[in-house]
Structure 1
Amino acid sequence: MALSFACNASILPQQVKVNSRSTKYLQNVRNLVETIGIPSISSSPDESLRKGNWVKLICGASFEDVVDIRNLSLVYTLAGVDCIDCAADASVVSAVNEGIEAAREMLGSLRRPWVMISVNDDEDLHFRKAEFDPDDCPLDCSRPCEMVCPANAISLERKASSEEEFTHFIGGRGKLQVGVITERCYGCGRCFGVCPFDKIRAVTYVRDAAATSQLLRRNDVDAVEIHTNGRQTDSFKDLWNNLEDSIRHVELVAVSLPDVGDLTVSVMKTIHSIMDPHLHCYNLWQLDGRPMSGDIGRGATREAIAFAVRLAAVRDRPHGFLQIAGGTNSHTVSGLKKAGLFQTTSISGNWRGEMFTVNSQQALIGGVAYGGYARKIVGRVLAEMQSHHGLAHIEDYPNYVFKALKEALLLQKGREKASTGITL
């Protein structure tokens, strides 16, 4: 089913007076970035990938709140991520790039992370939205869906009026009908099982290949990620053929797939054989252990690590870096180290038509992608800012930039970097 989501990436900043306190916090941000020695100041995204230091922010394949996306992109650019993965929507891509450029203007010395768009070849958990009719909700419902939603994408507040209108004012965005706030829902599915009246349904969709091709031709899109379910490869082949002419514009092609047991390596080989004739850039396999669960707790990362352990042990797997996702959080890097996945190895591949071989101390795993957990820890700061200032560019309030950056840097502590003596 095709869905159309209206997004507006042009966000008007509020007029903010620059005072000595704001100047102090802005200088604190600069000092923190420079003292930590964040890799983004001196290394390129492909160097991080080759060395096994790659870190990607997942905004969400279906998350389309351009206000939050812009601010998240700014904060994590300052924190040194190598790539920002977002929905294949023109307004969302523009919001990501606005955030990146705002971060670079603040410091002046940051290199630009790659911008990646995510698409799917068939039905996929990451490409769906929750939906229900709030008029069907009983008045005495305890509203567990609203409480369990990690994205604050469900609102069931009632505004008293003579006509019992079901409207709610959301963070300065204006009046919206209660129910699912479509642009904030990223399809995690946690609300489905908790509704006591079974009123919530999933609406799935597949990104349009023609629109994706146009996005890949933009000079501010550097990579594409194709989500596949691993059960069959015909739909992947169809999508690849439709994208073939635009693939030459990107630096990286990633394929995100779940663990399908003994069939996983066979599926990877088939997919690689489809891509190989027209693959003239880096390729990466995103191992999606436990999708959209990193914010749940420590145990969520175990499936992703177990998936990586099994794939890293396969010697005849196809070319490409391995990157884990799905359940990643602050415990992931320590888990990877305990599993022995940061070891010297050799990886071969094709980049711009030339073969390369990488000998790296960390190349068994090229890197880690953080989604729900990364959005959660910075999202708390963004929510606090919006509760006081409404919609705003976070750089207009450097105290919140400083606070959000300290949270974001906690995900970087497992990367190889010089000891700084700073406690975050």
Structure 2
Amino acid sequence: MPLSLSLCNAPLRSIPSNPRQCLQTIRTLAESIAGNRPPSLLAAPIESLRRGDWVKLICGASFEDAADVRNLSLVYTLAGVDCIDCAADASVVNAVSDGIDAACRIASVRRPWVMISVNDDRNDLHFRKAEFDPEDCPPDCSRPCEMVCPANAILSKRTSEGVEIQHDSHAGGKLQGGVITERCYGCGRCLPVCPYDRIRAMTYIRDPATTSALLRRNDVDAIEIHTRGRSTDLFKELWSSLSGSSGHLKLVAVSLPDAGESTLAAMHLIYSIMKADLQCYNLWQLDGRPMSGDIGRGATREAVAFAARIASTQDRPHGFYQLAGGTNSHTIDSLKKLGLFQTMNNPAAQFQKNTIVSPSPDSHALIGGIAYGGYARKIVGRVLSRIPSKHGHAHIEDHPELLLDALKEAFTLVEPVKCHNQPMTQHQEKS
């Protein structure tokens, strides 16, 4: 059993209580993944896509809580993700970079690529915020919106003459709070549960000029364009406004839902729009059931079914493919049952042990990897919520025992992808 796996599955009582021991265990865990990758002529994230063990953390196209984004980036960098996808906002990109830098100070790990997410359509579910006026909420409301919000983005409290009244939905006084905008990522679960229909969805579109400026930053490596694929004119307009700033990018991703029989035609048309100005690799994010990964086993079915249909098609558009939308701890098992987990598109091409792998376009995985969003944030967020906050700054590395807990949670997602079918060392072969 790999060292990192045995540590990741260790019972909680075995976690060292001494901060220095915690940090050493964290370093060992993180570097075990970093050192377990075979050499390649390709950049590490692209080699991961080629092998089928790419893992992306989705912080959320609309999630702008800088403190959480920073700590999530730190934890998942240590866990070995290849890419961190975040909102196209300067403060959020700064938070991601800060988290990555902090992780690299803790252990010798590879820097994941930083990806920013934008949209070509105001009606995209990833680019909306819930909104309501707490003054409109009846005093006797049980506030089901708070209970269903996965981001803890809805806060309400009643005050009476400046004194806060906690946990009493029947108390009088003035209601304050509402939606914490930077935490809301637009899942929409609050909308149908409001008994008085007071919650609204406010949609928006990322400003192309702001996005172009972000693309020129040295710490932005990739962009993801969310499109519904229904109007390629909108995609073409956005691409035209951004392509002049994409010269140093390493990857351009297009995220789209399954629109049935029209999906492949839309993908081919989108690729034809990009092709002339595409100076890097491209990736298709198959968005099965957006923002549902934290719900349970059923949520991953649509993502896997989407992947299975595309993988079975010979006339696939050029580029790598990656799952999203409903991905969670059940996704890998679902892919394995269909024979799609790390399956090469050229079965005759085998990995060569202890050799540099050439970047052959004919021998890469049908499904390059998995992006984890809501579920990834949920399992680590349980630990982040335990960090004592001081003056608004809550750095998880200041609490090594919590960082180790968070890293163990992150490994439950990342390591099963990264450690599958890894080439054996000479020592392992002899033993």
Equivalent residue number for residue 9 of structure 1: none
Cα offsets for 1:243-287 (capped at 9, x unmatched) = 011121200000000000000000000000000001111000000
Which stretch has the larger CA shift, 81-90 or 24-33? Answer: 24-33
- The SS at the match of 2:361 is strand
Equivalent residue number for residue 401 of structure 1: 403
Q: How large is the Cα RMSD of the aligned pairs?
A: 2.5
- The SS at the match of 2:326 is coil
Mapping for residues 43-82 of structure 1, pairs under 5 Å: 44-82=44-82
Asked if residue 234 in structure 1 is aligned to residue 252 in structure 2, the reply is: no
Cα separation, 2, equivalents of 1:95 and 1:89: 10
Cα separation, 2, equivalents of 1:180 and 1:166: 19
- The SS at the match of 1:249 is coil
Kindly tell me: are residues 252 and 346 of structure 1, through their superposed partners in 2, closer, same or farther at Cα, counting changes over 3 Å? farther
Unaligned residue ranges in structure 1 (runs of 5+): 1-18, 169-175, 348-354
Which stretch has the larger CA shift, 63-72 or 381-390? Answer: 381-390
Equivalent residue number for residue 19 of structure 2: 22
Mapping for residues 97-246 of structure 1, pairs under 5 Å: 97-107=97-107, 109-123=108-122, 124-158=124-158, 160-162=159-161, 177-246=176-245
Distance apart, 1:335 and its partner CA: 0.8
Cα separation, 2, equivalents of 1:233 and 1:135: 42
Cα separation, 2, equivalents of 1:201 and 1:39: 48
Distance apart, 1:38 and its partner CA: 6.0
Which stretch has the larger CA shift, 121-130 or 44-53? Answer: 44-53
Cα separation, 2, equivalents of 1:177 and 1:40: 51
8 Å CA contact 1:308–1:324 kept in 2: the answer is: yes
TM-score normalised by length of structure 2: 0.85
8 Å CA contact 1:252–1:281 kept in 2: the answer is: yes
8 Å CA contact 1:40–1:110 kept in 2: the answer is: no
Cα separation, 2, equivalents of 1:298 and 1:388: 37
Cα offsets for 1:14-44 (capped at 9, x unmatched) = xxxxx98211211111122234566579771
TM-score normalised by length of structure 1: 0.86
Asked if residue 250 in structure 1 is aligned to residue 249 in structure 2, the reply is: yes
2:374 aligned to which of 372, 375, 378? 372
Cα separation, 2, equivalents of 1:98 and 1:41: 28
8 Å CA contact 1:40–1:111 kept in 2: the answer is: no
Kindly tell me: are residues 338 and 20 of structure 1, through their superposed partners in 2, closer, same or farther at Cα, counting changes over 3 Å? closer
- Structure 2 counterpart of 1:292, which letter? M
Equivalent residue number for residue 278 of structure 2: 279
Distance apart, 1:345 and its partner CA: 1.2
1:358 aligned to which of 344, 357, 361? 361
Distance apart, 1:391 and its partner CA: 3.5
Cα separation, 2, equivalents of 1:373 and 1:312: 24
Cα separation, 2, equivalents of 1:299 and 1:113: 30
Kindly tell me: are residues 243 and 166 of structure 1, through their superposed partners in 2, closer, same or farther at Cα, counting changes over 3 Å? farther
8 Å CA contact 1:40–1:82 kept in 2: the answer is: no
Kindly tell me: are residues 242 and 136 of structure 1, through their superposed partners in 2, closer, same or farther at Cα, counting changes over 3 Å? same
Kindly tell me: are residues 393 and 77 of structure 1, through their superposed partners in 2, closer, same or farther at Cα, counting changes over 3 Å? same
Cα offsets for 1:186-229 (capped at 9, x unmatched) = 00000000000000000000000011011001000000000001
Cα separation, 2, equivalents of 1:233 and 1:180: 33
* Pairs aligned (count): 385
Kindly tell me: are residues 36 and 251 of structure 1, through their superposed partners in 2, closer, same or farther at Cα, counting changes over 3 Å? closer
Q: Percent identity?
A: 67
Distance apart, 1:166 and its partner CA: 9.3
Cα separation, 1, equivalents of 2:314 and 2:241: 31
Equivalent residue number for residue 412 of structure 1: 414
Equivalent residue number for residue 305 of structure 1: 304
Distance apart, 1:47 and its partner CA: 1.2
Equivalent residue number for residue 385 of structure 1: 387
- Structure 2 counterpart of 1:34, which letter? E
Cα offsets for 1:99-156 (capped at 9, x unmatched) = 000000001x211100000000012000000000000000000100000000000011
8 Å CA contact 1:167–1:177 kept in 2: the answer is: no
